[in-house]
Amino acid sequence: MEIFGPYIDFAADTRDGDIFKVIVAAEWLGERFISYDAPQAIYYKGARTGEITAIRFPPDAENAKYYKPDGMALKEIISDVPLKTIRVTSPFNLGRLHPILKVRKPHNGVDLAAPIGTPVYAFADGVVRVAGERGAMGNMVQIDHSGQVSTYYGHLHRFASGIKGGVRVRRGQVIGYVGSTGRSTGPHLHFGYRKKNAWFDPMKFLSIKTTNEKMIVTSLKEGFFRRVKTMLAFLDAIDTGEKGPLAPGQRQDEVTAPLPAEKEKEETPEAGEEKTEATKGDKEGEKTEKRTNWNSEWQDD
Ligand SMILES: [Zn+2]
């Protein structure tokens, strides 16, 4: 989904009957399934979105990118945000009258509404200084970045696995999940930004940028276009639903013909046609949020 992020808004643009195909390599140890790798090819065709295909290249490289079949690299989202959706319910305010304690108490961060369990992302590369319970902040993560900047993430439901003091994190890495721990009257993230021991309004530092589409470098072109041919053949071989949608959990290869003969060695192409289950989930989540009055003064710490 993230790969198509700059192109398709999966919360708004998807419709029943849209077609979604993915080819992923599955790792097997004998008969035992180990894991899925990054998608090698993705295809989406929708009433609102039009048609878009993405091919990963070089297939196994760590720094692989996704390209359209014509060789243009897909735009990528570069974000410095702790949550995908930023909805401020209580702004940064150093002279705030605290809603629970009824005393002047600075609000040294912003409160961002989100349902419990929403992933929280590291604002920038850094080192986890704190990942533990901190009074009113509940389960809190502090990350130290370069330039004497630290960011704070409060009221977490839980920490992401492996997040503890001393661990290095990358921008955009999931560090925990939204909760309502500590002094909090509803699920939200308290996000704080501190530089050289002074608090700043974090909203001033949030940014979402999109890179441009760029042609694949010449030295990779030949191999890329060979790869495109193979991947498009795999995608074509996926039968999408004239026979009706797949049952949940049913695999495409249980339903249709074998894949093209030039199948690559280590790869076990998996194919699935879905009616965007994930999207339906998102929409339900959205409704739930709308029923809740996030504007009320229920805020935290
Ligand atoms: Zn707060």
Averaged pLDDT for residues 141-151:
95
Domain count, the chain: 2
> How many other C-beta atoms are found inside a 10 Å radius of the C-beta of residue 125?
14
190 found inside a domain: yes
Query: What is the CA(148)–ligand 1 centre distance, in A?
Result: 22
Q: Is residue 295 part of a domain?
A: no
**In the prediction, which pLDDT does 269 show?**
38
In this prediction, residue 264 carries a pLDDT of: 36
Residue 289 lies in a domain: no
Over residues 27-53, the pLDDT tens digits come to 888 888 888 888 999 999 998 889 999
| pLDDT of 241 | 62
Pick the last residue of a domain from 171, 186, 209.
Answer: 209
Question: Residues whose CB is under 5 A from ligand 1 (ion)?
Answer: 111, 190, 300
Looking at beta carbons, which pairs linking 286-289 to residues 24 or more positions away fall under 8 Å?
286/11, 288/115, 289/113, 289/115
Residue 287 domain flag: no
Indicate the residue among 209, 235, 267 that finishes a domain: 209
- The predicted pLDDT at position 242 comes to 52
**Confidence (pLDDT) at 300:** 54
Does some domain include residue 69? Answer: yes
Whether 268 is covered by a domain: the verdict is yes
Q: b vs e for 155-183, b when ≥16 Cβ sit within 10 Å of the residue's Cβ?
A: bbbebbeebeeeeebeebbebbbbbbbbb
Among 209, 226, 250, residue at a domain's last position:
209
pLDDT tens digits along 66-100:
999 999 999 887 778 999 888 999 999 988 776 66
- Please give the model's pTM, rounded to 2 decimal places: 0.54
In this model, does residue 17 exceed pLDDT 50? yes
Residue with the larger pLDDT of the pair 7 and 270? 7
Pairwise CA distance, residues 143 & 151, whole Å: 5
Please write the tens of the pLDDT for every residue from 242-299. 544 455 554 544 444 334 433 333 333 344 333 333 333 333 333 333 333 333 233 3
Residue 28 lies in a domain: yes
Question: How are beta strands 198-200 and 188-195 bridged, if at all?
Answer: antiparallel
Please tell me the distance between residue 11's alpha carbon and the centre of ligand 1 in angstroms.
27
DSSP reduced 3-state for 135: helix
Same domain (yes/no): 36, 70? yes
Q: Is 1 helix (H, G, I), strand (E, B) or coil?
A: coil
Same domain, 264 and 159: no
Give the distance (Å) from ligand 1 centre to CA of residue 190.
4
CATH number of domain containing 251: 3.10.450.350
Residues 123 and 193 in one domain: yes
Question: Cα(129) to centroid of ligand 1, in Å?
Answer: 19
Q: Rounded distance, CA 182 to CA 176, Å?
A: 15
- What is the separation, in whole angstroms, between the first and last Cα of the chain? 34
CATH number of the domain residue 118 falls in: 2.70.70.10
For residue 193, the cross-strand partners are: 151, 200
User: Domain for residue 63, yes or no?
Assistant: yes
> Whole domain around residue 86: which residue ranges?
79-209
Query: Cβ atoms within 10 A of the Cβ of 78, count?
Result: 12
